[in-house]
């Protein structure tokens, strides 16, 4: 992970990434619950659950590049299949792609696991 991101954003940028992860996960959970309550089409349900699982990883900030990429692919597949709101799919795919590119920020499990360690003597 450290090879992907030279630093994990702190301060205001880190807070913005945390807010983006929280909003993205909230939208994913809302979308998955709404879809589960009204749909019986199995392939789109699998895609919605895949996106919701990626939302859990994004919320925690764990494996953010993989989770963001998975989210973007799942939402684009839902967009192509015409099984969900197209604007929500575009928004969630964009949020997933940007999180995959930018990283999770300092307030994430990724930063704790893979961030630079400070050695104190």
Angle between helices 86-102 and 11-38 (to 10 degrees): 140
Span 4-54, pLDDT tens digits: 555 677 788 889 999 999 999 999 999 988 888 886 667 788 888 999 999
Task: Give me the domain span that covers residue 86.
Answer: 11-114
Residue 119 inside a domain? The answer is no
Q: What is the pTM of this model?
A: 0.84
Residue listed under structure tokens 């998955």: 32
The domain tally of the chain equals 1
**Looking at residues 83-102, what average pLDDT do you find?**
92
Residue 41 inside a domain? The answer is yes
Span 42-79, pLDDT tens digits: 778 888 899 999 999 999 999 999 999 999 999 999 99
Residue 29 inside a domain? The answer is yes
Residue 6 inside a domain? The answer is no
HEC per residue, 12-37? HHHHHHHHHHHHHHHHHHHHHHHHHH
């Amino acid at each position: 992970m450290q090879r992907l991101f030279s630093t994990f954003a702190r301060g205001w940028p880190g807070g913005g990434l945390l807010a983006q992860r929280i909003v993205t996960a909230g939208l994913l959970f809302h979308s998955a619950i709404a879809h589960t309550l009204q749909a019986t089409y199995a392939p789109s349900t699998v895609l919605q659950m895949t996106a919701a699982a990626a939302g859990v990883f994004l919320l925690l900030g764990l494996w953010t590049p993989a989770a963001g990429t998975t989210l973007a692919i799942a939402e684009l597949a839902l967009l192509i299949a015409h099984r969900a709101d197209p604007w929500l799919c575009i928004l969630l795919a964009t949020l997933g792609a940007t999180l995959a590119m930018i990283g999770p920020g300092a307030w994430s499990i990724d930063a704790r696991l893979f961030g630079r360690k400070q050695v104190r003597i």
